[in-house]
Amino acid sequence: MGEKVIEVTDENFEQEVIQSDIPVLVDFWADWCGPCKIFKPVIEKIAKEYEGKLKVCEVDTTISRNIGINYKIKALPSLLIFKDGEVKNKSVGLKSKADIIKNIEEVIGEE
């Protein structure tokens, strides 16, 4: 079984997210963040449902601080949706799966 959610670090962020041919949902989290742990199963379900249409990545902000600093991540969990290397949507805090999917569909639908 392949892992649907890709762990991204300062080293592979450019390759996995910025250079991606398809839109990318990036979940910024940390091990000490309780809401992030609650959020994780929702992110994993979205990764399975959108496989092939959306890449889903996660960034542990305690390990990869530079990415969080570059994108001004001030609270966790934070979700950024990238398309063509640019942030198209940003949300902070726990969101419902329906809200996340709405944001994804808005970005995927942009042509």
CA distance 63 to 39: 19
Residue 91 has pLDDT above 80, yes or no: yes
Give the model confidence (pLDDT) of 12-25 as tens digits: 999 999 999 999 99
Q: What is the CATH number of the domain that holds 103?
A: 3.40.30.10
Query: Which pLDDT band holds residue 109 (cuts at 50, 70, 90)?
Result: confident
CB 8 within 8 A of CB 49: no
> Which structural domain, as residue segments, surrounds residue 102?
5-108
CB 5 within 8 A of CB 47: yes
Residue 111 has pLDDT above 60, yes or no: no
Q: Mean pLDDT across the stretch 41-53?
A: 95
Instruction: Dump the DSSP string for 22-84.
Output: S-EEEEEE-TT-HHHHHHHHHHHHHHHHTTTT-EEEEEETTT-HHHHHHTT--SSSEEEEEET
Q: Mean pLDDT across the stretch 5-34?
A: 97
Query: For the chain, what is the domain count?
Result: 1
Residue 1 has pLDDT above 70, yes or no: no
Task: List residues with catalytic annotation.
Answer: 33, 36
